[in-house]
Amino acid sequence: MRSEALLYRQVSGNDVSCFLCSHRCLIKDGEFGFCGVRQNKKGRLYTYAYADVAAANFDPIEKKPLFHVLPGSKSFSIAAYGCNFRCGFCQNWQISQTGYSEGGDDKAQRMPPREVVKQAKAGGAASISYTYTEPTIFFEYAYETAGLAGKEGLLNILVTNGYMTREALDLSKGYFDAANVDLKAFSDEFYRKVCKARLKPVCESIRHMKEIGIWVEVTTLVIPGLNDSKEELGEAAAFIASVGREIPWHISRFHPDYKMNDVEATPVETLEMAYGLGKAAGLKYVYTGNVPGGREDTFCGNCNTVLIKRQGFSVSRNNLKGGLCPSCNTRVEGLF
């Protein structure tokens, strides 16, 4: 559904400057931005990713993954078509790499913001997650939905590549409660070659999210031969710790997909190395996922008591007492 976009300005003639994401596209009349979702029509920018859903499901919050946000709860997850990255390893490429610049997609399901909130509540969800593709490209839809959902007591969660602008984040303050940010690598070369983006804006987003009160968790998908060196993973861990030692770091195993079917799955030893680097950097909460027997339990950052035991995407035991460790009474950071 077409709707006028937020976060743009007319610059000369009928050209517009879009400042929703860090591509900051200059879009000529009749053309789309890099995302393939936002089009300039005679000096007005429109989004086609409003109230058209590419996927909608109830997920465990742990699947996002978010381990420090209402553990064991359900989140109503929605996505629109499109993305502002071009990752060759995308697991949701069927919907993320489908934009509207080639004529749109006729498989979308119409779901206005009020209907999203209605379905979330009816299904017993404690939150709404804007996920699967990149929520920045359906920002107007997510923003309006979040405003309604917050009034109904639902949390609002972004599962994002972190490529939104500071302007977009400032507008998001008070609307979105938590975010899982993909820190896809700690190399600008990787971002330029693999994602068609840059590293610096992602780091800036992580910092600014914390500044404006959004709870942040970070995920890194470790891909053999591309972002798995000890040096790079150590730099990623050090960066996260510099923003906040309480930020959970999810180190995820790569499985062949999309344009990278010829790359082998990540060795468990590499995940263990990254885990050690995270702890050495001073991170309180480091997890390894997408692998059987991964490090998915939450321990107290003070006394190391097991607080939350997980099996896959399920919580088998939650020992937290009002967000506090039952052994030493230390508050565990997160939204509990």
Helix, strand, coil shares, percent, the chain, to 5: 25, 25, 45
Beta strands in the chain (DSSP E): 3-4, 8-12, 15-18, 26-27, 38-41, 44-47, 52-53, 55-60, 74-79, 109-110, 127-130, 155-160, 178-182, 215-222, 249-253, 286-289, 298-299, 306-311, 314-318
Question: How far apart, in whole angstroms, are the C-alpha atoms of residue 5 and residue 47?
Answer: 5
Tokens of 90: 């995308």
Give 58's contacts (C-beta < 8 A, 6+ positions apart). 74, 75, 76, 77, 123, 124, 125
Question: How far apart, in whole angstroms, are the C-alpha atoms of residue 316 and residue 297?
Answer: 10
Q: Which helix H or strand E contains 272, and what residues bound it? A: helix 268-280
Whether the Cβ atoms of residue 199 and residue 240 lie closer than 8 Å to each other: no
Whether the Cβ atoms of residue 97 and residue 90 lie closer than 8 Å to each other: yes
| Residue position matching structure tokens 């009020």 | 114
Whether the Cβ atoms of residue 49 and residue 104 lie closer than 8 Å to each other: no
Question: How far apart, in whole angstroms, are the C-alpha atoms of residue 125 and residue 121?
Answer: 6
- Beta-strand relationship, 52-53 and 109-110: antiparallel
Question: How far apart, in whole angstroms, are the C-alpha atoms of residue 195 and residue 165?
Answer: 17
Predicted pLDDT of residue 312: 84
The tens-digit pLDDT sequence of the chain (336 residues) is 899 999 999 998 999 999 999 999 999 999 999 999 999 999 999 999 999 999 999 999 999 999 999 999 999 999 999 999 999 999 899 999 987 876 556 678 999 999 999 999 999 999 999 999 999 999 999 999 999 999 999 999 999 999 999 999 999 999 999 999 999 999 999 999 999 999 999 999 999 999 999 999 999 999 999 999 999 999 999 999 999 999 999 999 999 989 999 999 999 999 999 999 999 999 999 999 999 889 999 999 999 999 999 988 999 999 999 899 999 999 999 999
Question: How far apart, in whole angstroms, are the C-alpha atoms of residue 253 and residue 263?
Answer: 12
Predicted pLDDT of residue 78: 98
Q: How many angstroms separate the Cα of 190 from the Cα of each of 39, 82, 164, 183, 270?
A: 28, 21, 19, 11, 18
CA 275, 316, 159, 50: dihedral to nearest 10 degrees?
Answer: 170
